Chains A and B, each alone.
Chain A
Amino acid sequence: MTESITNVMPDTATEERAARSHLARRLLRNGAALFAFIVLGLIVLAAILAPLLTPQDPNFANIQSLLSAPSAEHPLGTDGAGRDVLARLLYGTRYSLAAALLGTAIAAILGVVGGLIAGYYGRWFASVSSWVISLIMALPGIVVLLAARAVLGPSLWMAMAVFGVLLAPAFFRLVYTAVVNVRGELFVDAARVSGVGDFSIIGRHILSVVRAPIIIQFAFVMGIAIAIQAGLDFLGLGDTSVPTWGNMLNDAFARMYKNPVLLVWPSVAIALTSVALALFANALRDELERSGRVRVRRRRVRGTAPAPAVVLPADVVVHPETTADSREKLLVVDSLVVGYDQPDGSLKQVVNGVSLTVRQGEVHGLIGESGSGKTQTAWSILRLLPEGGRIVGGSVVFGGTDLASLSDTEMRKVRGRRISYIPQEPMSNLDPSFTIGSQLVEPMRIALGISSADAKKRALELLARVGIPNPERTYAAYPHEVSGGMAQRVLIAGAVSCEPDLVIADEPTTALDVTVQAEILDLLRGLQKELGVSILIVTHNFGVVADLCDRVSVMRDGLIVETGPVRAIFADPQHPYTKSLFDAILEDGAARGHLEHAADRHAPAGGAAS
């Protein structure tokens, strides 16, 4: 009965609203939404104009003409008591809609007000109200309605009032969750610091965020209200003196064998209204979610908007090798172009023709600012681009094979076994539902074909090797039980577990604290020396490049602008962009010094210095 509480909130509520101005227009272009609008409009019109559309009294029983066929006087015939079917249908629309509206309105008022208060102020009100809500939700609604009917008698409006209370949780939970989310947003904190009062914050920043979801929920709940109200009347538990769709069904069902057509009218009315309400709610939700999705993706490839569809002639600065490098070329990326299919059918390019070479046993840094396409390049080597992304041109030759031309099955054999991956964010890159041990063992059993006992032994050795103090305990732990630094060690252990030739590390230390970062860099350097593996490391930090890399490629706007041995580039950057990046580095800059006017008047201002 409260099944309507599913996914009404889009992922990040506050961001969705940005696109709201276009929402109404988009809704009208959405076929389903337009259909829903028209149907609902007609139904409401029929309810309002009922006295004009039929001269008949919906309750007048003409015993002379029971179950009569359609005629000029009775366009849809008469029912088992000799009442005009059309009149009952039209007036029924009035009562059914009004009853559903009453129930839904009560639910919305109780739920929204309660949810706002509980969400914004929290504390005891939140605890009490969520307890009451879970109590209400635990009850099968129809049983409560039946019990209420036993107490209150067969009243249409009382039943709907009780029903409104029962459905309040649908609104409460929606509003509560949204408010709790929005309350944590920094712009609410900023408003509080600006001296904005609680009511203004609720009205300006919070209510506006939940408005659209409340409308969606209202449509869903109203559909349910119509169904439940009809159901009660259909069971014969309602007020039989009021013409409603449910009462019509009840009467028709009793005469199903004689005149099944009578079932059609109320059924169609109920189904049409419910479906129109659900379609409207669904269309609105889809549109909200769509604007959310586009945003998320835009952020991921942010900054590449002016990317041209053709590959720019790149003025790549290539530094000469200081010593002849006789090591074999392991990975040769040539003119790689990566794009994302857009909803309008166009292609958005994020990598515009990248060429780079990684030799056996080399650590190659790929450095650039956000949106430069460095991560996209790394993902496309593994062919792990997110939905919609694909390699549009160029080749990725690894150990003599073009990875771009392999089948999915063949590519799978390359992943893990020959090229592996270390992600950026350690905590979100472990499956929260499985132990760390099982996530290490599973790929080894598949890629190396070893027994689970051997795989476990090897996993424990690897955990010890990556510097985890108690391998057995970590092996049995779940990801949420270890720290970020530990999780990154586990992921590094996983990356080298199947003895790959190349490790692609995507900002492996960005999410970590500085002291942990230093440890992870030490670990990567040690493992690289020990295993002789090549590493392609994506980063935005010149310190990381200086610490770890043999060679470096600088990326901007999906292109490599400068590449060469690390020492050569750090000593003598050539490309203007590389130069500007070096200029922005603060590390070797001067400190700001003392606060002057204070220092003038008295000794160093460190009165409270320890």
Chain B
Amino acid sequence: MLRFTVRRLVSGVILLFVISSVAFLLLNLGAGDVGRRILGPAATADTVALKNEQLGVSEPVIGRYFDWLGHALTGDFGTSWFTSQSVEQAIFSRLAVTLSIVIGATVVSGVIATVLGVWAARRRGWADKLVQVIAVLGFAIPGFLIAIFLVNVFALNLHWFKPTGYVQMSASFTGWLSSVTLPIAALSIGAIAAIVQQVRGSVIDAQRQDWVRTLRSRGLSENRIVYKHVLRNAGGPALAVLAVQFIGLVGGAVIVEQIFAIPGLGQISVSATAQGDVPLVMGLVVVVGALVVIVNLLIDLIQGFLNPKVRVS
């Protein structure tokens, strides 16, 4: 198990390295005249050149890359070209906000999808049809449309929630809860749709296995067979989908944060991209990449726990 973990960790670090290298080279090769972009058309050629020298963008890309890598390894991602704020600060002050929404949506969708999926697989008939319809619609309709719909109905018409804004969890828990309910709901529906299909399919598959008949022949109750044996065997494939969904949710958060005006990673991603703020975009790429690596590692570990065969190989 330890070797398994170490191997996954090493491959995660390599992945992160490759991603950041490619991103750095592409971003810097395409950056163009950075000083002019920052200072605007009114600035003189001299001040633009001075700015470019300050930022170091006139030097060769390779040298700058190793410079950046050296600092990044110590946790220093430089400063934003536009706000002069340090990249780590800009990102970490918002990371918690985004994570609270994404993790919330992962938990909510995981739980609801499992319950619905098992229900559909066991009941079949109309329950199954209903869940299938929900899954198709939830899967097909883009999350941001759902978000816009939720804002219009629950915030603008019913006034149950505020349409925009974010309350820190430390400031007021109920305030926080009320501010993240709609974003989490908007994010979860698509994820539920994808996971529920997988849970349903794996449970139906598992129920058709020969060993289920043998367990029944030993006098075990149907509930015990489903919740102990079938669900554990169906868990692996479902978790794999959950991992993919988590990555998808991080992406979805970018749009949803924009709609609900939530000051998370999504917001600075959009503004940093639109401005071409290379240090900030690089920081975001690394942080999101690391997040993905960590989540995949966690899922792999749980998979290993669930499936003894994975543990061995």
Q: Which residues of A contact B (CB under 8 A)?
A: 1-3, 5-7, 135, 137-143, 146-147, 149-152, 223, 226-227, 230-231, 234-237, 249, 253, 256-257, 260, 263, 267, 270-271, 274-275, 277-279, 282, 379, 382, 384, 386-387, 408, 412-417, 420-421, 423, 425, 428-434, 439, 442-443, 446-447, 478, 480, 491, 494, 498
Q: What would 10 A/B residue contacts be, using CB atoms closer than 8 Å?
A: A6-B241, A137-B247, A139-B292, A147-B273, A150-B27, A235-B270, A263-B148, A412-B220, A428-B210, A429-B214
CB nearest neighbor in B for A275: B140
Looking across the interface, which residue of chain B has its beta carbon closest to that of A2? B244
> Which chain B residues in 62-79 approach chain A with CB under 8 Å?
none
Q: Which of B194-216 contact A (CB under 8 A)?
A: 194, 197-198, 201, 208-211, 213-216
- Neighbour of B145 across the interface among A149, A267, A433, CB < 8 A: A267
Q: A140-B288, A147-B27, A150-B30 are in contact. Are A274 and B211 (CB under 8 A)?
A: no
What residue of chain B has the Cβ atom nearest to residue A279's Cβ? B136
Instruction: Contact check, B255 vs A235: say whether CB atoms are below 8 A apart.
Output: yes
Of all A-B residue pairs in the complex, the 3 with the closest CB atoms, nearest first, are A416-B219, A227-B142, A421-B217
Please tell me if B18 contacts chain A, counting CB pairs below 8 Å: yes
Q: Give the docked Cα–Cα distance between A474 and B307 (Å).
A: 18
Q: Is B178 an interface residue (CB 8 A)?
A: no
Using CB atoms, name the residue of chain A closest to B139. Answer: A278
Indicate whether A140 sits within 8 Å of B213 (C-beta atoms), given known contacts A150-B281, A480-B309. no
Q: Which residues of A contact B209 (CB under 8 A)?
A: 428
For A231, list chain B residues within 8 Å (CB).
142, 144, 255
Q: Report chain A residues within 8 Å CB of B148.
A: 249, 253, 256, 263, 267
Digit string of B150-184 for contact with A (CB within 8 Å is 1, else 0)?
Answer: 01100010000000000000000000000000000
One digit per residue, 1 when the CB lies within 8 angstroms of any chain A CB and 0 when it does not, for chain B 210-236 equals 110111111111101000010011000
Query: CA A2 – CA B245 in complex, angstroms?
Result: 8
Contacts A1-B251, A443-B218 given; does A223 touch B140 at CB 8 Å: yes
| Residues of chain B lying within 8 A (CB to CB) of residue A412 | 219-221
Chain B, interface size category, equals 35 or more
CA distance A443 to B219 in the complex (A): 7
Which residue from A234, A257, A413 sits with its C-beta under 8 Å from B255?
A234
Cross-interface CB contact of B140 among A253, A256, A271, A434, cutoff 8 Å:
A271
B31 CB to closest chain A CB, in angstroms? 8
Known A147-B281, A433-B229: A142·B254 in contact at CB below 8 Å: yes
A408 CA / B220 CA spacing, docked (Å): 11
Chain A nearest CB: distance from B143 CB in Å? 8
CB pair A446 B220 closer than 8 Å: yes
- Known A138-B15, A150-B30, A494-B218; contact A237-B270, beta-carbon cutoff 8 A: yes
**Cβ of B99 to closest chain A Cβ, rounded Å:** 13
Across the interface, name the chain B residue whose C-beta is closest to A141. Answer: B251
Contacting residues, chain B, for A227 (C-beta < 8 A)? 142-143
A415–B217 touching, CB < 8 Å: yes
Q: When chains A and B are docked, how far (Å) is the Cα of A465 from the Cα of B220?
A: 24
Q: Could you say which residues of chain B place their CB within 8 Å of the CB of A141?
A: 248, 251
Known contacts being A147-B273, A147-B285, is A271 close to B255, with CB within 8 Å?
Answer: no
CA distance A428 to B214 in the complex (A): 10
Residues of A within 8 A of B186 (CB): none
- Judging by beta carbons under 8 Å apart, are B251 and A498 in contact? no
- Known contacts: A1-B247, A3-B244. The answer to whether A423 contacts B210 by CB under 8 A is yes
Contact B140 A151 (CB under 8 A): no
B250 A237 Cβ-Cβ under 8 A: no
Residue of B nearest to A428 (CB): B210
Report yes or no: B30 in contact with A143, Cβ–Cβ below 8 A.
no
B248 in contact with A146 (CB, 8 Å): no
The answer on a CB contact under 8 Å between A413 and B215 is: no
Bound-state Cα–Cα, A434 to B306, Å:
9
In whole angstroms, how far apart are the Cα atoms of A140 and B151 in the complex? 25
Question: By the criterion CB–CB under 8 Å, are B276 and A442 in contact?
Answer: no
- The CA-CA distance from A230 to B190 in the complex, in Å, is 16
* C-alpha spacing A387/B208, complex, angstroms: 9
Q: Which residue of A lies closest to B197 (CB)?
A: A6
A3 to B193, CA, bound (A): 10
Closest to B204 in A: A387
Q: Find the B residue at minimum CB distance from A414.
A: B219
